[in-house]
Amino acid sequence: MSVFKAPLEDTKYLINEFLDTSELKGSPSLLELTPDVTDSIFDEAGKISENLLFPLNRSGDEEGCSISNGKVTTPTGFKEAYKEMTESGWGSLTCKEEHGGQELPHYIANAVDETIVASNLSFSIYMGLTIGAYNAIERFGSDELKNKYLPHMVSGKWSGTMCLTEPQCGTDLGLIRTKALPQDNSSYLISGSKIFISAGEHDLTENIIHLVLARTPNSPDGIKGISLFLVPKITSDEQNILLDSNHVTCSAIEHKMGIKASSTCAIEFESSEGYLIGSLNKGMKAMFVMMNSARIHVGIQGLAIAHASYCGAVDYAKERLQGRALTGTKSQNQSADSLIVHPDVRQMLMTMKAYTEGARALSTWLSFKLDVSQEADDPQVQQNADELVSLLTPVFKSFLTDIGEIVSSLGIQIYGGHGYIRENGMEQYLRDARICRLYEGTNGIQALDLVGRKLPAHMGKYLRHFFHPLSLFIETHKEDEQLSAFIQPLAKSFSRLQVATLTIAQKGMSNPNEAGAAATDYLKLFGLVAMGYIWSQMAEQIIHNKGTLSDDFYDAKLKTGQFYMERILPQTGSLLSAIMAGAESTMALKESQF
């Protein structure tokens, strides 16, 4: 059986020692978040993840969700766990206090989310969708809608969804057909079909609040004519007493490769009463609040699955006896040595560890920049952080979900044939991880967003928020012999990223296929460099300003970082070669030749 242990020591190191929070040094909330406070939050999150959620992970996968007469039943134990989690406030960490939330910064809440997701991805989706819906309503909804719906969503009494996809459209939301007919009382009647709706129907809450993209009569074609509507599953009166069905029906649940304990639904709206969120025909603007938040959260899902798989792989590699070490017997009293003595197994474990710890540090850093973009006193500092987060969101979502699949696949490999057997729990991680590269915009779409929108935005302004600090870091530390194992590989990879950026910008102007063919390789190159930058910053902090953790912790951190710089970061060379080859071979075949 796989095992799970919350990443408490690494999380506390990142929050208490690595992260520079000076950009928000005047924030009242940060002044209250002393290490004692945050450590207690992480400790409690670890306990509830290990003891409540992880034991439901495999059983939930085996049992899955079921549907009868349009009603979905979640796996055994989920309803009780959801009640305990929401009553304890774990589902409302970033929500405003006026609605009953904790109003914690994202860098704290996202660290907690990693632990919760790692213990049970399917379960976490129910709470995650509600937070996404909360964010959109809180930012764009009227005061009346906020007061009516948000407190119940924060308490966990009601949950939320985002309803975008339809049978004929996924990424291309301009093809949406769901209709919204205006009524005399300022409401709308929503009619249409939505598919792939996570947490669209379940038995965890008494009501579900759907945020639905739809078109009003005579609206402009394409995405310019899409509006966003709040559609409750069940209507309620002014005192929020539930009244009648709102003609929202779950017609089916999907039978999926993974996340089987998360209900993925087909939802039918039949003249369902809805209320406009934001401005008419500006639904995409409001929905992107949910989607951008969700993309960061999906990146964290990739990290979380990687951590869970690593936990299982390390435990097995230490316990499983197979063969003898190449340099001589290590366990004289055993019939064989443990797997962890073998270089091939070590290389897989080091790859898993380097990717996972690097992703966790990148998540902590980017989550704090998200807080800066919303909380900094200086408007210019806010804007700069917002542009950096916008640039890195597609990189973060794609690169970390790629890591989730890579690491969970390596976890199976370390188990050998036993990893392929369901009862050992490792193959579930790979099945669960696979969806993360698909939903909230496939990784290919994220790559196109990066090269087609983020790079050229404002003449490359977004890019400068990442390139300039990275260049300054290299220049500042280039003569530091203690950091040479980090700075030299980082400088080489950054140079490759700069060359790739210039090449795509130049070729893409004359032939868009050049940018399109290079996009995925470029995004991965960008992700590798960003993680190398984070590993180098951690090394600099440990070497020159070590904290109070054990010497063994810091030694392991530096050695893991050096492995990343020597064995993983060099992938940037082959990626640059592929990018420089251009689009010709990619586009060479006629359609009939496939």
User: Are 430 and 330 spatial neighbours (Cβ–Cβ below 8 Å)?
Assistant: no
| 202 Cα distance to chain centroid | 23
- Output the CA angle 18-23-27, nearest 5 degrees: 105
User: Are 205 and 169 spatial neighbours (Cβ–Cβ below 8 Å)?
Assistant: no
pLDDT of residue 31: 77
pLDDT of residue 93: 96
pLDDT of residue 372: 96
Minimal CA–CA distance to 348: which of 430, 409, 427?
409
* Chain segment 198-251, per-residue pLDDT in tens: 999 999 999 999 999 999 999 999 989 999 999 999 999 988 899 999 999 999
Task: Give the integer Cα–Cα distance in Å for 227 and 179.
Answer: 10
- pLDDT bracket for residue 292 (50, 70, 90): confident
Which token pair is 522?
């470029």
pLDDT of residue 514: 96
Distance (Å) of CA 35 to CA 12, 18, 95, 497, 557: 8, 13, 21, 37, 21
Contacts of 555 (CB under 8 A, 6+ apart): none
User: Are 504 and 454 spatial neighbours (Cβ–Cβ below 8 Å)?
Assistant: no
Task: Give the integer Cα–Cα distance in Å for 487 and 540.
Answer: 10
Does residue 29 carry a pLDDT above 80? Answer: no
- Within 10 angstroms of residue 73's Cβ, the number of other Cβ atoms is 17
Distance (Å) of CA 542 to CA 13, 48, 394: 10, 31, 29
Residue 162: phi and psi, rounded to 5, are -125, 125
Task: Give the integer Cα–Cα distance in Å for 104 and 33.
Answer: 9
- Please report the DSSP string for 443-486 in residue order: HHHHHHHIIIIITTGGGGHHHHHHHHHHHHHHHHHTT-GGGHHH
Does residue 64 carry a pLDDT above 80? Answer: yes
The torsion defined by the Cα of 530, 534, 539 and 545, in degrees rounded to 10, comes to 150
Task: Give the integer Cα–Cα distance in Å for 582 and 508.
Answer: 10
- pLDDT bracket for residue 367 (50, 70, 90): very high
Is the backbone of residue 576 left (phi > 0), alpha (psi -120 to 50) or beta?
alpha
Beta bridge partners of 234: 245
Task: Give the integer Cα–Cα distance in Å for 549 and 551.
Answer: 7
Residue 105: phi and psi, rounded to 5, are -70, 160
Task: Give the integer Cα–Cα distance in Å for 267 and 400.
Answer: 30
Per annotation, catalytic residue among 440, 514, 540, 566: 440
Task: Give the integer Cα–Cα distance in Å for 207 and 220.
Answer: 33
Task: Give the integer Cα–Cα distance in Å for 396 and 359.
Answer: 9
Which token pair is 530?
């960003």
Task: Give the integer Cα–Cα distance in Å for 205 and 193.
Answer: 22
What is the mean predicted confidence (pLDDT) over 364-390? Answer: 95
* Chain segment 546-578, per-residue pLDDT in tens: 999 999 999 999 999 999 999 999 999 999 999
Token look-up 């990066």 returns 450
* Chain segment 305-346, per-residue pLDDT in tens: 999 999 999 999 999 999 999 999 989 889 999 999 999 999
Q: What is the average pLDDT score of the chain?
A: 96
Strands 242-245 and 248-253: unpaired
Contacts of 232 (CB under 8 A, 6+ apart): 149, 207, 208, 209, 210, 246, 248, 273
Is 440 noted as a catalytic residue in this protein? yes
User: Are 266 and 117 spatial neighbours (Cβ–Cβ below 8 Å)?
Assistant: no
Residue 332: phi and psi, rounded to 5, are -60, -35
Which token pair is 297?
């959260």
- Please report the DSSP string for 373-423 in residue order: HHH-SSHHHHHHHHHHHHHHHHHHHHHHHHHHHHHHHHHHHHHGGGGGSGG
Instruction: Convert 78-133 into a string of H (helix), E (strand) and C (coil).
Output: HHHHHHHHHHCCCCCCCCCHHHCCCCCCHHHHHHHHHHHHHHCHHHHHHHHHHHHH
Residue 258: phi and psi, rounded to 5, are -145, -165
pLDDT of residue 225: 94
Amino acid type, 52: L
The torsion defined by the Cα of 209, 211, 212 and 216, in degrees rounded to 10, comes to 100
Which token pair is 367?
């989550």
Does residue 289 carry a pLDDT above 80? Answer: no
Beta bridge partners of 162: 211
What is the mean predicted confidence (pLDDT) over 290-304? Answer: 90
Does residue 290 carry a pLDDT above 80? Answer: no
First to last CA, the chain: 43
pLDDT of residue 429: 98
The interaxial angle of helices 484-510 and 461-477, nearest 10 deg, is 150
pLDDT of residue 287: 76
Strands 158-163 and 188-198: unpaired
pLDDT of residue 27: 81
pLDDT of residue 174: 84
Which token pair is 342?
């073998």
Which token pair is 480?
């530091």
Task: Give the integer Cα–Cα distance in Å for 160 and 209.
Answer: 5
Strands 226-232 and 234-236: unpaired
* Chain segment 464-498, per-residue pLDDT in tens: 999 999 999 999 999 999 999 999 999 999 999 99
User: Are 412 and 418 spatial neighbours (Cβ–Cβ below 8 Å)?
Assistant: no
Task: Give the integer Cα–Cα distance in Å for 107 and 114.
Answer: 11
Task: Give the integer Cα–Cα distance in Å for 319 and 322.
Answer: 10
Task: Give the integer Cα–Cα distance in Å for 449 and 441.
Answer: 10
pTM beyond 0.75, yes or no: yes
- Within 10 angstroms of residue 108's Cβ, the number of other Cβ atoms is 25
